[in-house]
Amino acid sequence: MKRARVRSYPGLVVLLAAMTAVLLACGTSPAPVAVTTAPAPVAVIATATPTPPPPTPAAARPPGAPQQGRWIEVDVTRYSVRLMDGTKVVQEVGPVGVGKEIDTGKYESTQTGLFAVYEKRAGLTFDAPYNTYIDWWVGFDKAKDNGFHTFLLDKAGKVVDASTGRVSNGCIRTGNGQLIYEFAEVGMPVWVHA
């Protein structure tokens, strides 16, 4: 175990001497002063993903979040998807994978904003640009071809990459693709936010 170094503070000694001199000149005895040394600072190195902040209460959500009907919320900071009915959470899914890039405008970015489900497709599908398979597709950002789908799969439908956090090319990857697929309806609002 390493011992903390004792530091000296010459400026503090001079200040205490000056205060003692002033008090003596005024005819008052100085009170005893205890001088302590602060322990050396300890370096902390984070080794795990930080805990995401708690969800934003419905009443505090910024404009853009639906307040009625069924809709889907994606929080790209908390890596979560919430299936909503008005302001009530029906079910929370997470952690999920979101885009490595957020709001860059690039094709391979998760954009924030209000979208709508435009397509649903069940069944193992080969995603040629990324040489992988996905299932339970629910498209919501037609301009970037982003949507919800399973974690990455092999041709037999087995998960080959279940990474979460900032990992995707813009889509929302989840281990509960079927749940989101069954909840979603074409035209349903999808609110993506940070």
Q: pLDDT of the chain along its 194 residues, tens only?
A: 323 333 444 444 444 444 444 444 444 444 444 444 444 443 333 333 444 445 545 444 456 789 999 999 999 999 999 999 999 999 999 999 999 999 999 999 999 999 999 999 999 999 998 999 999 999 999 999 999 999 999 999 999 999 999 999 999 999 999 999 999 999 999 999 99
Pairwise CA distance, residues 101 & 125, whole Å: 24
Pairwise CA distance, residues 158 & 69, whole Å: 35
Its pTM surpasses 0.85: no
> What pLDDT, on the 0 to 100 scale, is given for residue 20?
47
Neighbours of 73 (CB within 10 A): 22
> What pLDDT, on the 0 to 100 scale, is given for residue 63?
62
Pairwise CA distance, residues 77 & 55, whole Å: 10
Left (φ > 0), alpha (ψ -120 to 50) or beta: where does 123 sit? left
Q: Are 131 and 123 in contact (CB under 8 A)?
A: no
Those residues with Cβ within 8 angstroms of residue 39's Cβ, 6 or more apart along the chain or in another chain: 4
Pairwise CA distance, residues 81 & 116, whole Å: 15
Those residues with Cβ within 8 angstroms of residue 76's Cβ, 6 or more apart along the chain or in another chain: 98, 99, 102, 110, 112, 192, 193, 194
> What pLDDT, on the 0 to 100 scale, is given for residue 174?
98
